[in-house]
Amino acid sequence: MDFLSLLQKSARIHGHLCPGQVLGVRMTMLGLREIGISDPKGKDRKNIIVFVEMDRCATDAVQSVTGCSLGHRTMKFMDYGKMAATFLNLRTDRAIRVYAKEESKQRAKGYFPEIENKYAAQLEAYKIMPDDDLFDLMEVRIRLKPADMPGRPLCRVQCEACGEHIQDAKEVYRNGKPLCKSCATMGYYEHLRHDDFTHAPCNISIAV
């Protein structure tokens, strides 16, 4: 797993090279090494699941290096807004969370003081800074449910409120009735009623 080769490939997939790409490639290489995964796209491809906590450039780098993806259910998106990812070896159950230190941004300036643009300085510094200056490591335990694993859906339930179907045990229950998360809580969208062009919440309340 050559760093520069992985970085070049990730940048091509992402569309440009940026500090987030460098961080993402390096955090992935570190995480994989810590959990004993050497060939994530080859012999180890069925042994890895990664949890990403950010929807930023680094996530594309994590996907590029690991080959994990949402569609294959080997990448899980946790919307925490943190520059962090957790790498799980399914064979050994070893999991390591890698968090990018905020102070690394300030340390980067000291590596290339002649570069005025802070992002350009970060990009170059992140390539050479020691792992200990860039990341914190945390050994964690991941409790995966059978419905979270790759493969065909294990269950399919109809929402009592909107009638749409929910896969993979993502439903919630109110008074014993299955609801999709949009109906159980405020969803991310509103249904536009075409008869009067007014907005109405997509969720339908059911008394608890």
Q: Do 46 and 83 touch, CB atoms closer than 8 A?
A: no
The two structure tokens encoding residue 84: 């962090």
pLDDT in tens, the chain (208 residues): 799 999 999 999 999 999 999 999 999 999 999 999 999 999 999 999 999 999 999 999 999 999 999 999 999 999 999 999 999 999 999 999 999 999 999 899 899 999 999 999 999 999 999 999 999 999 999 999 999 999 898 999 999 999 999 999 999 999 999 999 999 987 888 878 766 544 445 555 444 3
Q: How far is it, in rounded angstroms, from Cα 142 to Cα 119?
A: 34
Q: How far is it, in rounded angstroms, from Cα 123 to Cα 100?
A: 14
DSSP string, 125-184: HHHHS-HHHHEEEEEE-----GGGSSSS-S-EEE-TTT--EEETT--EEETTEEE-HHHH
Domains along the sequence of the chain with CATH: 3-144 (3.30.1330.130), 156-201 (no CATH)
What pTM did the predictor assign?
0.86
Q: Do 107 and 94 touch, CB atoms closer than 8 A?
A: no
